[in-house]
Chain A
Amino acid sequence: MRNHVSQQQQFGKLVTLSLLAVIIVELTVGGVLWGRRLLRRPPVLPILQAGDPLFARQLPVLARDAEQRGTTEDWLNLSVALLAQGFYDEAELAFRRVIELDPLNQEGRFGLAFCLDRVGRIEESKPEYHRAIALNSRPNVTDRLSQYAWMALGRNELREEHAAEAEEIFRRTDRFQTQAVQLIKLLIRSGRAAEAMPRLDAALKQFPMSLEFHFLRYRALLELDRPEEAAKVADLFDRLRPTISLNFNTDYVRHYRKRTGFDEAIEEYNQLISDRNMDRMAAVLEELLKEIGTLPVPMASTVQVSLAEVELQRQRSERILELVHTLHLTEVEGADVLQLEGAALQMQGHHAQAVALWERAMQMGPNPQLAEKLAEEADRIKDTRKRDHWRAQAALLQTRELFWNNRIEEALPPVRQALQLDGENPQAWYYLGQVQRVRGDFPAAREAYEKCLQLAPWYGRADAALRLLPAT
């Protein structure tokens, strides 16, 4: 019996000791957990100026998630939001936390490098860009961030005026168009234009309408003292569009910016445009205007003008005039504001006032659509002289747009129409010459340029273009 009691006591002691041991372990582990939790660093946030109330509401939520849940994703969300709004110093610290939590996180590593880069800490950014490249999960395929990192590394060597190091990077990565552009430019600027030419030929074979490569070819030909060939290339690249994003910074940041603040709201609005649901579009913009209130931010006028354009489609002249009045009060003027005001007044039957505003808008920023409207207004009051003047202007402006966008064949009918309506306009003759020259009809081009110079001897460009024509 005594033995049994003793055994029970011993078992009880054992249980007690075991429980105490468990509690001690729990307290130790708990203490470590609590200690680590207490010692964690809070996110460092910028002092927000009154610029974007939507972002001002998002930031504390992101910061709370990072502080309380503290997962890699939470910290990454905070980091990229700070970066998207240009708070590079604070974003740097948040990215550092991402990397602490997940050293293999490429987005975090690249973000850190980018923040250091953009605040001018170029040397510190370099190893981080290299680490970001090393974290590419598919080593045989260069992912977007690795590509950006290579671009940044090359650009940074240029920023530090390390020509040899930059060239080495560009040679290693010249499969990317941006890198090829920089390499060729370095070659031309260092007296190696001849070495650049085969690279240019290859690039232009692949991208025949590339403004960037044609511009470099122009520079190379000048360096090689071949000015006549250079002039022909210049004539071509004048009509091409940029095709290569030479600075990745904006693309990279915009990717995140679309997720925050006003930009997120505008992105949502842009999604509505294809549906053409004007009521919904107006409602979204009105809501955004309420958010902006009286804040002096560029977004205010952007939204007001967009809303006025939507209200134009909804035929709501009163609201357009209210918005135009607000724009005037906040000192926003321009051809677009005059055009909107004129449209509202026209809707209300104030044609003469509308025409006066539109004529001012045409003087500031001529465009074919507005010239057509003015022609219609002149036609309405049977002023055929003015009608033909504006129709000629509309046709000439249309020609100009088509020509500069390298749509040469399409530009021929409107320029002929412009000359039919006003045969004394030297600019129209000049454009006829341009169109015919590019089409290869050199006699017609010569005739047109000569007519232009006859009407306006000061038209130097016509004279220069004449010199581009082959001798007859």
Chain B
Amino acid sequence: MRQIVLAVVALSLPVLIWAGLPFLPPLGKPLEVHHGGTHYPPSPVPFDRQTIGPPPAGLPLVANVQIVDLDQDGQPEILACDAGRCCLTEYRRHANGEWNETILLADLNAPAHVTPVDIDQDGDMDLILSILGNLYPDDSVVGRVELYEKTPAGYLRHVILDDVRRVADVQPGDFDGDGDLDLAVAVFGYSRGQILWLENLGNLKFRDHELLNAPGTIHVPVADYDGDGDLDIAAIVTQDEEELWGFENLGNGTFQSRRLWFTINLDLGGAGLVQADLDHDGDADLILPAGDNLEDLDAYPQPYHGCYWFENTGGWKFEPHRISDLGGTYAAATGDINADGHLDVVLVSMTNHWSRPENASVVWLENDGKQNFRTWQVASDPIHLVTVAVGDLNSDGRADLVAGGLNMRKPFERMTRVSAWFQLAAPSASPVASRVPVPSSAP
């Protein structure tokens, strides 16, 4: 009998063991998952976030925000290029603190940038729109520069440059010294692009001149970079190139082009170029936010993302310093955030690693006056921010921030169209940390 039982057990055990295997739960310790992205200590300067205008009903695609006193009444307005709604919106602050939205210009095909300027010098602010023509990669001639002339009856549309690839930026300056305002134009394109300057011939007619044939120019900040009294043009060329260019004004509408810097890192992700005298030495420096990796289907912050300060050392030499490692940095703006007399830098991120809720989307870099920067986190919500501006939005004497969201990628959460961060109290002194180490770069 015992043997029969044992035989049954011996026969059935393998079956039971085998049959039971699929039902056994996994009790092993899961492998630790890596999480990238960057976050920082909270800002000692307190901010209060406010959504500007109505909450979005879809996926906001704001390409550019600016703080500007458009009607010159002493109160700043916010302008936003809304590529989703194909319009330029204006936000005005009312006495109750609410910001009302007005669509200033409609039927704009993927506006990348707005440049408020009195182009006809008649005392009011006209608007120049950089029209991509398509927000998504496109190498065809879909770009335009549209000038909206301010008239008593409203804005009057003039197409001043057509038949070019996607246009990302326009900046004014009297380049030929004839007393009127000419324009520098960044034709971003995709595989091909250009940098142009448009000579103002009067009567809102502009003659185009090519400065450089290269794809991916995002911004063309204008300043007297060599201190010789006339206006020059700088440009960041991206895509696979990642080059910083300067166009020295030689007078009479002639320029000498100079490649000021480049990196062989084709994945740096240059995302813009801001001109500011960061070290307060009287010349114009350049600030490069880097972290655009929209060419990947799913972007991820990279170790070389962040912000690079190009210190103008004279004679068209610019020394690069890496001053932030914020993942997915997409835009920079400058302002004296803590009112200590030194110019600080504000950065926003489009593609930090958003799976970690603590990762930063807005930071400011505190400048100790010797250009040592410490990064302070302002926000991790909203995310997908691609544009930022600094200014005193509520006329309380403190620097506030405004940012816009371009929600093209996962996760579709923590979205904003336009958000502002109002500084709450007088800034306090804060400790200083050293710079982030600088990677080598080919001069």
Contacts and interface: CB of A to CB of B under 8 A. Distances in A.
B237 to A, nearest CB: 12
Contacts of B303: 120, 122
A186 B205 CA distance: 41
B314 interface: no
B264 A161 contact: yes
Contacts of A293: none
Contacts of A53: none
A250 B295 contact: yes
Given A88-B298, A333-B85, A360-B107, A159 B262 contact: no
A132 B301 CA distance: 25
Interface residues of A, number: 92
Contacts of A461: 163, 208
A301 B136 CA distance: 14
Given A26-B10, A159-B265, A242-B139, A364 B86 contact: yes
Interface stretch (B23-31, B114-122, B341-349, B358-366): B23-31
Interface stretch (B51-59, B172-180, B226-234, B428-436): B51-59
Contacts, number: 220
A212 to B, nearest CB: 8
Nearest to B206: A458
Interface string A371-413: 0000000000000000000000000000010001000000000
Contacts of A247: 295-296
Interface stretch (B32-40, B148-156, B367-375, B389-397): B32-40
A44 B191 contact: no
Contacts of A297: 59, 412
A427 B301 CA distance: 44
B376 interface: no
Interface in B8-64: 9-10, 13-14, 17, 20-22, 24-31, 33-36, 56-60
A19 B7 contact: yes
A161 B440 CA distance: 7
B239 to A, nearest CB: 9
B141 A404 contact: yes
A363 interface: yes
A39 B192 contact: no
A93 interface: yes
B252 interface: no
Is chain B's interface secondary structure helix, strand, loop, or mixed overall? loop
B207 interface: yes
Nearest to B87: A333
B250 interface: no
Interface stretch (A30-38, A201-209, A276-284, A438-446): A30-38
Interface stretch (A102-110, A306-314, A324-332, A416-424): A324-332
A217 interface: no
A118 interface: yes
A246 to B, nearest CB: 6
Contacts of B2: 16
A20 interface: yes
Given A49-B410, A218-B213, A238-B192, A41 B26 contact: yes
Interface string B287-316: 000000001111011111000000000000
Nearest to B36: A119
B6 interface: yes
Contacts of A122: 303
A161 B441 contact: yes
Contacts of B6: 16, 19-20, 23
A369 to B, nearest CB: 15
Nearest to B34: A89
Interface string A67-96: 111000000000000000110111011001
A196 to B, nearest CB: 15
A44 B296 contact: no
Interface string B390-415: 00000000000000000110111101
A41 B31 contact: yes
A329 B191 CA distance: 34
A250 B297 CA distance: 6
Contacts of B86: 333-334, 364
Contacts of A333: 84-87
Contacts of A22: 10
A29 B17 CA distance: 9
A39 B27 contact: yes
B58 A332 contact: yes
A47 interface: yes
Given A16-B2, A298-B408, A42 B26 contact: yes
Interface string B161-196: 011000000000000000000000000000110000
A365 B109 contact: yes
A51 B410 contact: yes
Nearest to B35: A89
A120 B300 contact: yes
Interface in B85-143: 85-87, 107-109, 133, 139-142
A296 B59 contact: yes
Nearest to A361: B107
B209 interface: yes
B266 A158 contact: yes
A316 interface: no
Contact of A155 (B24, B109, B267): B267
Given A16-B6, A296-B412, A23 B13 contact: yes
B263 interface: yes
A12 interface: yes
B289 to A, nearest CB: 17
Contacts of B30: 41-42, 44, 93
Across the A-B interface, the 9 shortest Cβ-Cβ residue pairs:
A86-B298, A330-B58, A30-B17, A460-B208, A19-B6, A41-B28, A49-B411, A331-B58, A42-B26
10 contacts: A33-B17, A40-B26, A41-B28, A42-B28, A86-B410, A122-B303, A159-B266, A296-B412, A297-B412, A400-B163
